[in-house]
């Protein structure tokens, strides 16, 4: 009887704790019961049930994609299956997906005690990668439910959408309570955001075993600025397409929201704050200024692969509409400078599959009629490895940005590195291959991509989730192996 279930041989192991620029060491990886049992050179293969030859490729710790949206535009049960397959293509082994009550997702309001079990049931048994959920407290009742969600379901991360106060998901909103499905006597506004922070801080104090991993994430845009600028852009009519949408949600709207969110964290004493998908130099500069102003707050800064790869001119069509918007090339270059300086904590996909018939309005050329969001998990690791290498980003930095840092923050204590005792989540990458992005090659049900035609110089060839080979030689294989992850202890 074999004593090793899986042996991955002949790979160059990238570890986040190695010094930047260190040449990845040629090693073998032994796996039993879903966990890594040994990492060493020249492990014998005569007692291994399955041997995989890595052919000298880079072995990265599986990507912990800390920002996805399963079920926002499609049925959650469908998205869980198809979009987790797309995630595996990009080396993602753990997807953290945002979920809330209100329009889209399950299209219902009410208590999370009733809502979240439906979410878990819809996803169960369908994912090809491991997964967990961030939840958004949309009304006062949800704030009271935070300790229950932490202890009963292992949910350790929560979210605020700052622009929902008077702006809808895709633009102006005439009725907040209808869109958010909150009680008519409640408001989703700055006061609610403050009370969410106070409620989460109370939970940290009441549940000290979870406290280090309980955090609040914020989508930082300012509704009033966006509403005014949208009217201005549409009235003037000089701009069209993605550039018009970027101008309607200007970068200083991000910077202002970051500043407000940071002061509220200071006021409420909530120390663990995640600033999501910062898209501009103004947004990152504001985040760094706030970190200096409030050193007692542990800020983490997130950037998406979309904002690192595409701009308002290079993205393929209006399918690149997303919140916050794709920006000018100057902002893309600024984001890269901050990544290389170590001022960004993780890179994510913000994957939100929006099929063609849902994405575009009656006038396909009207950016303000299009829905916001697009998929992209397929390109997360290859895009960062390839483009990063051109700019001097080391493989070790990539491993920290895509795996170790988000795993630590979000309470995924067995994820994030290739080492004994950790889950056998591994992505094999060929760093020396040229290929072209085509939406038709994606496992996602989205028929387009803003990255169409982009030239890539690295590619994921194989993905292992707790030792299950779910992506082999460029194709999805086997049955769904993903599990729901309870986090924080």
Q: pLDDT at position 59, please?
A: 98
Q: pLDDT at position 331, please?
A: 98
State percent of the chain over pLDDT 70: 97
How confident is the model over 387-403, as a mean pLDDT? 98
Question: Do 148 and 142 contact (CB within 8 A), yes or no?
Answer: no
Element (H, E) at 472: strand 468-472
Q: pLDDT at position 162, please?
A: 94
How confident is the model over 76-90, as a mean pLDDT? 98
Q: pLDDT at position 178, please?
A: 76
State percent of the chain over pLDDT 90: 93
Q: pLDDT at position 60, please?
A: 98
Q: pLDDT at position 2, please?
A: 75
Does CATH number 3.20.20.140 belong to domain 62-414+432-457? Answer: yes
Q: pLDDT at position 241, please?
A: 97
How confident is the model over 453-459, as a mean pLDDT? 98
Q: pLDDT at position 467, please?
A: 98
Task: List pLDDT tens digits, range 42-74.
Answer: 999 999 999 999 999 999 999 999 999 999 999
Task: List pLDDT tens digits, range 412-448.
Answer: 999 999 999 999 999 999 999 999 999 999 999 999 9
Q: How confident is the model at residue 79 (pLDDT cuts 50, 70, 90)?
A: very high
Q: pLDDT at position 176, please?
A: 66
How confident is the model over 247-275, as a mean pLDDT? 98
Q: Is the pLDDT of residue 172 over 70?
A: no
Q: Is the pLDDT of residue 150 over 70?
A: yes
Backbone phi, then psi, for 391, in 5-degree steps? -105, 0
Strands 92-99 and 63-68, by their bridges, are: parallel
Question: Do 29 and 54 contact (CB within 8 A), yes or no?
Answer: no
- pTM for this predicted structure: 0.97
Q: What are the boundaries of each domain within the chain? A: 62-414+432-457
Q: Tell me the DSSP string of 248-311.
A: HS-HHHHHHHHHHHHHHHHHHT--EEEE----SHHHHHHHHHHHHH-TTSEEEEEEEHHHHH--
Q: Is the pLDDT of residue 168 over 60?
A: no
Q: Which residue has the tokens 């918007």?
A: 325
Q: pLDDT at position 239, please?
A: 97
Q: pLDDT at position 179, please?
A: 80
Q: Tell me the DSSP string of 55-107.
A: TT-EEEEPEEEEEE-TTSSS-HHHHHHHHHHHHHHTTEEEEEEEE-SBTTTT-
Q: pLDDT at position 153, please?
A: 98
User: Mean pLDDT for the chain?
Assistant: 96
Q: Is the pLDDT of residue 487 over 80?
A: yes
Q: Is the pLDDT of residue 165 over 80?
A: no
The Cα 13–Cα 61 span in angstroms is 9
Q: Which residue has the tokens 């106070």?
A: 198
Q: Is the pLDDT of residue 280 over 90?
A: yes
Q: pLDDT at position 164, please?
A: 81
Q: How confident is the model at residue 3 (pLDDT cuts 50, 70, 90)?
A: confident
Task: List pLDDT tens digits, range 345-378.
Answer: 999 999 999 999 999 999 999 999 999 999 999 9
DSSP H helices in 154-215: 176-180, 190-206
């Amino acid at each position: 009887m074999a004593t090793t279930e899986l042996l991955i041989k002949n790979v160059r192991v990238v570890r986040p704790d190695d010094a930047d620029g260190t040449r990845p060491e040629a090693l073998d990886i032994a796996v039993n019961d879903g966990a890594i049992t040994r990492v060493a050179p020249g492990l014998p293969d005569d007692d291994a049930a399955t041997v995989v030859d890595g052919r000298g490729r880079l072995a990265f710790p599986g990507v912990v994609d800390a920002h996805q949206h399963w079920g926002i535009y499609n049925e959650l049960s469908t998205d869980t299956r198809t979009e987790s397959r797309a995630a595996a293509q990009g080396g993602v082994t753990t997807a953290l997906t945002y979920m809330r009550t209100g329009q889209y997702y399950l299209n219902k309001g009410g208590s999370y005690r009733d809502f979240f079990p439906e979410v878990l049931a819809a996803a169960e048994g369908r994912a090809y990668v491991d997964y967990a959920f961030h939840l958004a407290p949309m009304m006062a009742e949800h704030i009271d439910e935070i300790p229950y969600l932490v202890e009963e379901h292992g949910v350790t991360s929560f979210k605020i959408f700052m622009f929902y106060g008077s702006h809808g998901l895709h633009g102006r909103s005439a009725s907040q309570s209808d869109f958010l499905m909150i009680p008519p006597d409640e408001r989703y506004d700055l006061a609610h955001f403050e009370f969410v922070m106070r409620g989460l801080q109370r939970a940290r104090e009441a549940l000290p075993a979870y406290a280090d991993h309980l955090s609040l994430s914020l989508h930082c845009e300012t509704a009033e600025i966006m509403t005014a600028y949208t009217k201005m852009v549409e009235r003037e009519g000089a701009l069209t397409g993605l550039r018009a949408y970027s101008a309607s949600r200007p970068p200083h709207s991000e910077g202002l929201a970051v500043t407000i969110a940071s002061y509220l964290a200071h006021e409420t004493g909530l120390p663990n704050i995640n600033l999501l998908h910062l898209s501009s130099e103004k947004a990152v500069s504001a985040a760094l200024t706030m970190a200096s102003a409030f050193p007692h707050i542990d800020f983490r800064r997130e950037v998406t692969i979309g904002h690192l790869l595409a701009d308002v001119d290079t993205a393929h069509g209006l399918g690149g509409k997303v919140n916050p918007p794709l920006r000018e090339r100057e902002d893309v270059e600024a984001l890269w400078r901050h990544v290389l300086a170590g001022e960004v904590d993780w890179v994510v996909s913000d994957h939100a599959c929006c099929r063609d018939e849902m994405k575009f309005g009656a006038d396909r050329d009207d950016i303000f009629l299009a829905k916001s969001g697009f998929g992209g998990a397929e390109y997360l690791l290859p895009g960062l490895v390839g483009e990063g290498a051109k700019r001097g980003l080391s493989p070790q930095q990539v491993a920290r940005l895509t795996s170790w840092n988000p795993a630590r923050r979000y309470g995924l204590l067995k994820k994030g590195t290739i080492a004994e005792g950790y889950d056998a989540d591994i992505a094999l990458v060929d760093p020396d291959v040229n290929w072209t992005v085509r939406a038709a090659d994606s496992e996602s049900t989205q028929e387009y991509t803003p990255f169409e035609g982009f030239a890539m110089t690295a590619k994921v060839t194989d993905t292992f989730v707790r030792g299950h080979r779910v992506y082999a030689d460029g194709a999805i294989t086997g049955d769904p192996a993903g599990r729901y992850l309870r986090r924080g202890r």
